[in-house]
Each structure stands twice: as structure tokens, then as C-alpha cells.
């Protein structure tokens, strides 16, 4: 019995010692790691960088405290689905200024890696009736507040965010194309073949999929205008708005009641702009409640030119 007690005791004391030694090792390495970190910080001390915090303040901190951090796909997906809090994005297109320069189209196609015949944004030549004037009409996705495309999607691949933007998640899309049938504006395109920048069969695109840019694009899925949600997150204007040489686009936030012209960078009151110019929406009778407004094509500075796009002679 006594001997028994003894064995138990010695086993217990062994574990005690082992635990003590373990704790010592952990504490030691932690101390060394901290010291190493400190040395690292000391090395770069003095260099300051300016950063914008999440709540919008500009702060200056030591570069050594900055850690590089890349967003992973699930993180991008999560914030991409939620959208930007407190914002209601809106676009105003001044038809009087558009002369079909198509810079909006090409910058959009560049940013989203689209083929020449694929449009998130297209400029159409319109004429309501034979006796009325023809005009150019840029046509992005209308980012409807009552989007028919979102209603019919069977898998929640396309969705409406709190900031008003309608996005498409090409990692979930099954390619049924119901949304294309539902959209009265033909705002959606489909990747009938491998997208423009596809790497071929053997290689995998290593880039992380950003639902706010919809890049990399994927074969067999839908793509559409995203109001350049990736640019908005950085506080910049959309690609098309920025690229326009003629001051056609205003873009901004309905909550702030302000929109900024992409060319002149002039910021104006949204409500005043719409009222003063008798703004209208595309096919409002369908009840889609678009977030894109048009200003009528009156008092134009240039004559309308009917142009033929050589692409219409090709077959793809």
C-alpha cells in the first residue's frame, strides 16, 4: 500500500516537472519571438505611412505596424454579397452629351476581361419614332430595385445588395439563363465559350475570384454590369464613368443626394439634377424600378451620326 502510494507520487511529480519545463519552453520562445518582432520594428522605425481607417479617418502610423493581408475568396464573397452599408448607388446618364465615343464600353470590357462582342455596357442608337430625333443611349444594367433577374434565379447566384447593386456570383451560377430571359433591358451576357483571358485546359487561373469585379470570368456562367463595385469600395468612380471624355455620366449616392460627373468631377445635387432636366427611366411601366436615370437628349452640341459597327458583319 505504502509502496503503491510512492509510485503514484513519483509519477505525479514527474508530470509536474514535465509541465513546468514545457511552460518554460513556451514562455522562452514567446519572449524570443517578441524580441525578434521588436528588432524588426526597430529596423524600419521612422518610416510613416498614411492609412484610411474603416470609419473614414486618415491616420499616420509606423510602417512596421502594417501587415500585408490579401482577401481570400470567401471573404470577398461575404462582403460582396452584403454590399456597402448606408449607400444607395445611382447613375445619371446625360443623353445630350453622348456622341458614341464608346470609351465607356472599352474601359469596361478591359476591366472585366470581356471579348469585343460582350457588353456590360453598350451604347445603342435610338429613335422613338420616325419623326423624332435619333440619339445615342449608353445602356448599363439598370440595377433595378425590383429586379426580375434576381426573382427568377433558382440558386441565388444573382442577388440585390443593400447598396442597390445587382451582382452575379459566377462560382454559383448554373448557367440556366433564366435571368437573361427575364431582363427586359438585355443587360446580361453569357460566356458561351472560354472567356477572353482563359488560360487553356491545363492551367488553372490562380487569381482569387472577386464577385465585385466578376473576374476571373468563367465559361458557362452569366456576367453583367456591376456598377464597378470593386472601384466603389475603393471610393473611386466606375470604370465607364471615369473613362467618358464627354461628361455623359454622373455617379453617386442617393442617400447623400449627390452625384459626381466622371469627366468634370463636378459634384451636383441628385434631386435637383433630375428635376431640372426632366429625367426619365427606361421602361418604368414594367415596374422594375431602375437605379439608372436618363436626362433627355435635347440642346445637343453635335449632330447625331449613324454609325455602322464592323462587328455586325462578322459571325462569332
- The nearer residue to other proteins, 83 or 138, going by C-beta atoms, is 138
Residue 82 lies near other proteins (rule: CB under 8 A)? no
* Minimal distance, residue 41 CB to other proteins, in Å: 46
* Minimal distance, residue 314 CB to other proteins, in Å: 5
Residues in the chain: 316
**Grid cell locating 63:** 510602417
- The nearer residue to other proteins, 86 or 287, going by C-beta atoms, is 287
Q: 160: helix, coil or strand?
A: strand
**Grid cell locating 7:** 509510485
Residue 177 lies near other proteins (rule: CB under 8 A)? yes
Candidates 109, 214, 221, 261: give the one binding other proteins (CB under 8 A). 221
* Minimal distance, residue 234 CB to other proteins, in Å: 29
Q: What is the 3-state secondary structure (H, E, C) of 37-92?
A: HHHHHHHHCCCEEEEECCCCCEEEEEHHHCCCCCCCHHHHHHHHHHCCCCCCEEEE
Q: State how far Cα 287 lies from the chain centre.
A: 25
Candidates 124, 132, 146, 276: give the one binding other proteins (CB under 8 A). 124
Near other proteins in 144-163, by CB under 8 A: 148, 151-157
Residue 203 lies near other proteins (rule: CB under 8 A)? no
Site string for other proteins, 252-291 (x = CB under 8 A): ------------------------------xx--x-----
Residue 134 lies near other proteins (rule: CB under 8 A)? no
- Cβ 226 vs Cβ 167: under 8 Å: yes
Helix, strand, coil percent content, the chain, rounded in steps of 5: 30, 20, 50
Residue 173 lies near other proteins (rule: CB under 8 A)? yes
Q: 34: helix, coil or strand?
A: helix
Candidates 194, 205, 256, 257: give the one binding other proteins (CB under 8 A). 194
Candidates 5, 67, 202, 314: give the one binding other proteins (CB under 8 A). 314
In angstroms, the CA 107 to CA 110 distance is: 5
For the chain, the first-to-last Cα distance in angstroms comes to 92
Residue indicated by cell numbers 446618364: 93
- Cβ 167 vs Cβ 158: under 8 Å: yes
* Minimal distance, residue 236 CB to other proteins, in Å: 27
In angstroms, the CA 213 to CA 112 distance is: 7
Residue indicated by cell numbers 441565388: 156
* Minimal distance, residue 296 CB to other proteins, in Å: 17
Residue 103 lies near other proteins (rule: CB under 8 A)? no
In angstroms, the CA 299 to CA 6 distance is: 104
Which of the ranges 26-34, 40-48, 124-132, 231-239 carries the binding residues for other proteins, by CB under 8 A? 124-132
Candidates 36, 192, 276, 296: give the one binding other proteins (CB under 8 A). 192
* Minimal distance, residue 155 CB to other proteins, in Å: 4
* Minimal distance, residue 164 CB to other proteins, in Å: 20
Asked if residue 117 has a cis previous peptide bond (ω within 30° of 0), the answer is no
Interacting residue ranges for other proteins, rule: CB under 8 A = 117-119, 122-126, 139, 148, 151-157, 172-178, 180-182, 184-186, 188-194, 219-222, 282-283, 286, 309, 311-316
Amino acid at each position: 500500500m505504502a509502496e503503491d502510494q510512492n509510485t503514484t507520487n513519483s509519477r505525479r511529480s514527474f508530470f509536474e516537472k514535465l509541465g513546468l519545463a514545457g511552460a518554460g519552453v513556451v514562455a522562452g520562445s514567446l519572449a524570443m519571438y517578441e524580441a525578434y518582432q521588436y528588432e524588426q520594428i526597430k529596423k524600419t522605425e521612422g518610416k510613416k505611412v498614411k492609412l484610411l481607417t474603416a470609419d473614414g479617418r486618415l491616420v499616420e502610423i509606423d510602417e512596421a505596424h502594417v501587415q500585408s493581408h490579401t482577401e481570400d475568396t470567401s471573404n470577398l464573397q461575404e462582403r460582396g454579397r452584403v454590399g456597402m452599408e448606408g449607400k444607395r448607388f445611382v447613375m445619371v446618364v446625360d443623353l445630350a452629351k453622348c456622341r458614341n465615343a464608346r470609351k465607356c464600353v472599352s474601359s469596361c470590357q478591359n476591366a472585366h476581361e470581356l471579348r469585343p462582342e460582350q457588353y456590360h455596357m453598350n451604347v445603342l442608337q435610338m429613335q422613338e419614332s420616325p419623326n423624332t430625333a435619333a440619339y445615342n443611349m449608353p445602356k448599363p444594367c439598370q440595377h433595378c430595385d425590383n429586379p426580375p433577374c434576381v426573382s427568377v434565379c433558382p440558386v441565388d447566384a444573382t442577388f440585390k445588395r443593400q447598396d442597390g447593386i445587382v451582382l452575379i456570383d459566377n462560382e454559383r451560377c448554373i448557367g440556366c439563363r433564366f435571368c437573361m430571359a427575364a431582363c427586359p433591358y438585355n443587360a446580361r451576357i453569357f460566356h458561351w465559350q472560354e472567356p477572353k483571358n482563359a488560360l487553356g485546359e491545363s492551367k488553372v487561373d490562380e487569381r482569387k475570384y472577386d464577385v465585385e469585379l466578376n473576374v476571373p470570368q468563367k465559361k458557362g456562367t452569366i456576367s453583367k454590369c456591376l456598377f464597378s463595385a470593386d472601384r466603389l469600395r475603393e471610393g473611386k468612380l466606375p470604370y465607364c464613368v471615369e473613362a467618358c471624355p464627354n461628361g455623359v455620366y454622373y455617379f453617386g449616392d442617393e442617400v447623400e443626394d449627390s452625384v459626381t460627373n466622371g469627366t468634370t468631377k463636378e459634384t451636383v445635387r441628385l434631386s435637383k439634377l433630375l428635376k431640372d432636366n426632366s429625367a426619365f427611366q427606361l421602361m418604368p411601366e414594367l415596374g422594375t424600378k431602375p437605379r439608372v436615370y436618363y436626362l433627355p437628349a435635347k440642346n445637343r452640341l453635335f449632330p447625331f451620326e449613324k454609325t455602322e459597327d464592323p462587328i455586325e458583319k462578322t459571325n462569332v
